[in-house]
Structure 1
């Protein structure tokens, strides 16, 4: 049986939906905080395990009868790293045969501006040291973040971000979920690290060009200073922690942290992942 943690989140939902297309629901379990949010899966026969990363006792219960665990990385809580450790510890205690973790495809963890991302590599180290057979999915930045970065009025105002000409090999979250499900169902657990990225890396200039092509409107990209973006976000009432993290993402993009390109996603999918134009058309409904 495969247990998907963070099951009601966007990536967890994508993985679960794809698992259920290829394996009986009785072979799938979902770890959720709120059982009511998993009613549809429960009706299909998925085993619902109630618990959360910060509650080791609930994790011990959730791991019973589980052979393989997908640990979807937690959020930005101060104790998020310790929460990851709790899941790994519970899996080892329960005799789980394989633990897969959703990490990040970043070029140099030692020089990241977005310090929250360092937790991924600390989790990787803990997992590798645990002795558990494992799989690590290093996922590139979701293409789905583009509308959040560019804002709702991008077709009128263009893109103004401090990303320089940094490039990102964006991939759709849905395709990552599909690929993760396929790898989990393949049955191998050989301590492999997958780099799930798009087939090409793109700058915000490329994003603007895609929006121009698809909308018929002229969309330009302007590289601005960090403080310009921070000021605009403050005007919209965005919390300081969110501003700091967004600028961290932009700085890492500018410095080439996200421009890794790998064929792993295409191999797992059995096809080329969506291109920038295909993804932008979908995400911006153009």
Structure 2
């Protein structure tokens, strides 16, 4: 069996992947990367090896990756420093002799600087390029938008205001639940035949934010309206409400990407890898809002 190392286990995706792996494979074949052992001590108690390393420190990663066959590389959430961090990971993986990198990338259509999410896309595109140039066997998981974060786009006050205020127009999005992506990731990590391939991690369903508002209306038994303002009005509204500018820019960028149908792309990949239907946006929203 291959020795698998999972990064990002203090985050939600990496945590879900390692928890699934513990129940599916030998614990002696598993390792996780952490900056502080204390944060993952519960995994060590279950028999998972802890490797200490930091995306900011290439030398620490070389040591951490020693003897690893498959590296489940969760992209950094530090947007400002992500390029250098990812380069450190790839350099270290090559030096350590990692045989296969499974990288959590992103779904896209527009790879140009004109993309409304170019500020996020750049590091993913370069990371894929660097992995190929390093000559390491790869699998790119081109993740769509997590269904889990739909409530963030709807806003904390959506129930009070009765309005989804988000400038996504009538753009269609294929959301996918983080847990479903984790299960598909584990299927790839524990089987062969995925070498030098890219997989779209999305679903066969697309929804608009008008449809999301309609689903909410049905769940709550009251009308939830959808308003798609201009980018300028949206940015001004959020800024006036005290939302930090980095979040305003991120929400606005994703809204424009949705409006441009950047995530209007479907596949049955998750179902084919996991053997079950992914959780739908409707079912997820019922879980979140039915008791509100």
TM over 0.5: same fold?
A: yes
What residue is the counterpart of 1:281 in the other structure? 286
User: How far has the Cα of 1:171 moved from its partner?
Assistant: 0.5
Superposed CA offset, 1:211-247 (max 9, x none): 1111212111111111222223223322212211111
What residue is the counterpart of 1:162 in the other structure? 167
User: How far has the Cα of 1:285 moved from its partner?
Assistant: 5.0
Match for residue 265 of structure 1 among 262, 266, 270: 270
Match for residue 172 of structure 1 among 174, 177, 185: 177
- Could you tell me whether the CA contact under 8 Å between 1:147 and 1:284 is conserved in 2? no
Unaligned runs of 5+ in 2: none
What residue is the counterpart of 1:114 in the other structure? 117
Superposed CA offset, 1:20-41 (max 9, x none): 1101221111111222221111
Instruction: Indicate whether 1:204 and 2:206 are aligned.
Output: no
Residues of 2 paired with 1:86 and 1:283: CA distance? 38
- Could you tell me whether the CA contact under 8 Å between 1:198 and 1:274 is conserved in 2? no
TM-score normalised by structure 2 residue count: 0.94
- Could you tell me whether the CA contact under 8 Å between 1:169 and 1:261 is conserved in 2? yes
6-15 vs 182-191, which moves further:
182-191
Match for residue 82 of structure 1 among 60, 81, 84: 84
* RMSD (CA atoms): 1.4
What residue is the counterpart of 2:46 in the other structure? 44
Residues of 2 paired with 1:269 and 1:33: CA distance? 31
Residues of 1 paired with 2:13 and 2:121: CA distance? 17
Residues of 1 paired with 2:34 and 2:239: CA distance? 34
TM-score normalised by structure 1 residue count: 0.96
Equivalent position SS for 1:246: helix
Unaligned runs of 5+ in 1: none
- Could you tell me whether the CA contact under 8 Å between 1:136 and 1:194 is conserved in 2? yes
Equivalent position SS for 1:195: strand
- Could you tell me whether the CA contact under 8 Å between 2:219 and 2:290 is conserved in 1? no
User: How far has the Cα of 1:272 moved from its partner?
Assistant: 1.6
- Could you tell me whether the CA contact under 8 Å between 1:199 and 1:272 is conserved in 2? no
Runs of 4+ deviating beyond 3 Å:
283-286
Equivalent position SS for 1:193: strand
Correspondences of 1:224-235 after superposition (within 5 Å)? 224-235=229-240
Equivalent position SS for 1:152: coil
Residues of 2 paired with 1:29 and 1:283: CA distance? 33
Residues of 2 paired with 1:229 and 1:76: CA distance? 25
What residue is the counterpart of 1:73 in the other structure? 75
Residues of 2 paired with 1:44 and 1:189: CA distance? 28
What residue is the counterpart of 1:219 in the other structure? 224
Match for residue 198 of structure 2 among 174, 193, 201: 193
